[in-house]
Structure 1
Amino acid sequence: MIYTLENEKIKITANTYGGELNNLITKKDSVEFLWNGDEAYWKYHSPILFPIVGKVLDGKYIVDGKEYNLPQHGLARVREFNMIEKTENRIVFELLWNEDTLKLYPYKFSLRLSYDLLEDGVKVGYEVKNLDNKDMYFSIGGHPAFMCPLFENEKFEDYYFEFDQKETAEVMLTDINTGYFTRERKEFLNNQNKIKLDLKLFEYDALIFDSLKSNSITLKSDKNNKSITMDFTNFPYLALWTKATGAPFICIEPWYGHGDFFDFKGDFKDKEGNQMLKSNEIFTASYSLHLK
C-alpha cells in the first residue's frame, strides 16, 4: 500500500512493498526528483539493502558452519512491510523475521524504516533490532535513484556531483564480469570536490568510496538551478552508480557494509563492514535528502 506525506513545499509517497520511497516532489513546480522506476531501465526507486549490501560470493554465505543463500542486496527490498506509525509528517514501516526469512537469514530481527518530512526534503531512518538470543550480523544501506536529467532539454552529462569538502580519495574496484570486489583500488579524487558526470565513469560498475571526509554530496546541473543534497554523515561507505549503457537516473548510496571480495571464504561474522548486535540491542542510522 502506498502512503502520502506532504507539507507546503514537499510531497513524498512511500510503499509498504519493500518499504520503499516512491516519490519526492517539490510542490511549487511539481518537479519529481526520485527515479520513476521505469522497468526498461531499473524497476526500483529507493530500495533498502538488508541484511547484505551488494553480493555474497556465488549467492552463498556461511553462518556457524551452515550455508545460506541470499540474492543481491538481500531480502528486504522484495518483502511486504507493515505500517506501524503514521502522523502528519512521519511514517514508519516494519519488517519482522518469519519462518521464510530464517531460511535465507538465520537471525530473528526487526527492521524499521522511517520517513520524516522536512521543510525541504525527507529524513530516511533505519532501525535494526536483534530479537534473537545470539549475536546478529548484518549490513544495511540505501539505494535511492534520482532523475538525471530532470528536464527533457537536458542530458546526463550536464550534471555533476559536489562534495561539501575537497577530497583526495580512492575508489574500491570491482570485477566488471562478476561484481565482486578485487581488493584493488584506484586513485580518483585529488584535492577535488566535484565529479562531472560521464557514463565512462561507470564502465566498471559503481564508484565506491570508503575514506571520504565529506558529510554531504549534492547533485547539480549546469543547465538549471535545481539540486538535491544528501547528508550521509556517519555512513562509512558511499557509492555512486548508474547503468554504464546509459539510463536517465543516478544513484547515491550510503552503506554500512559492502559486497564480498572475490576471494572471501570466511564466516559471515568476519565479513568486512558487517555490523554486530547482541541480543535486544538496536542499531540506528539515517540520511537526509534536501531539495533546492
Structure 2
Amino acid sequence: MHPQKRPAGPQRTGLGILLICATCLIFAVQDGFSRILGAEYPPIFIVMLRYWAFMIFVLALVSRQPGGLRRAARSRRPLTQIARGVILVAEVVIMVEAFVRLGLVETHAVFAACPLLVAALSGPVLGEQVGWRRWTAIGVGFVGILVILQPGGGVIRLESLLPFAAALMFALYGLLTRHVARDDPAMVSFFWTAISGGIAITLVGIWDWTWLAPVDWLWMAALCMCATAGHYLMIRAYEVAEASALQPFVYTQLVWASIIGVVFFGENMRSNVAAGAVIVVMAGIFTLWRTQKKAG
C-alpha cells in the first residue's frame, strides 16, 4: 500500500531506493521491539498501543492535505476499506506472536512468500491472468517454504504456520488495496487503514489492558517512533520513485531482521532456513519482474 501520489516529475529512483532501504531497516528494528514487548505482554495489547500512535500520525498527516479529514474519510468503497484495515491489524498481531514463538529469522523467512501469494491470489480476487511463468515461480517459492519448514523432519509445528498465515493475510490486504485504488485516492486508503484497524484492535485489545513496567514504556515509545518514522519514509520513497523499481528492495527487511535476530536475540540461522529464504526471495523477485513486464 503506497499512500501517496504517483510522482509527476523526473524519477529520483536512487533516492527512492535509499529511502525504502532505510524504511526496511526501521521496520526491522521495530520488529525487534515488538519481540521484546510481545514476550512480556499480550501481543494484541502491544499492537493496540502501536496503532494508537499510528492513528495520531495519520490524523495529523491527512489534516494537512487538501480537503482535510473530511476528504480523507470520503470513500466509495467503505466496507472494503474497513475489511482492509481489520485484515492488516490482525496480520500485525499474528506477526508479533510469531516473533515471540519463532524469532525474527524464521518468521521473516516464511513471510517473504507474500509476493508469491499476491500473484497466486490476483486471479481469483482481481480477475487478473497469471501466466505459466509466474505459476512456476510461485511453485518454486513454495518449495522454498517447505525447505524452511522441513515437513519431512516430523510434524510441522503449528506456530511455524503463523508467519505463513500472516503472509496470506498481508497478500489479501495488498490485493484489496489495489481493488479500492480503482475508486479511492491513496490518502483515503491510508486514512481508513489506520482508523478502521485502530478501532478494531481497540475493541478487542482494551480488555487486555495492563500497565507497562517503567522501562517497557521506553521500549513502547521506541516502537511507536519506529512505526511513525517508517511509514513517513515509506511515503517519501513512493513519492520520488515508482513502486516497481522499489519493490525488490523491500526484501532487505529480511536481511536486517535476520541480523537483529542473530546478534541481539541469539537466534540461529539454520542452513535450511537460509537456503529456503534464498529460494523464496529469488522466486518473489522473478514474480515481481514478470508482473512489471506484463504491466508495461
Query: Structure 1 length normalisation: TM-score?
Result: 0.26
Higher relative contact order (CA 8 A, sep 6+): 2
| More strand as a share of residues | 1
Structure with the bigger percentage of helix: 2
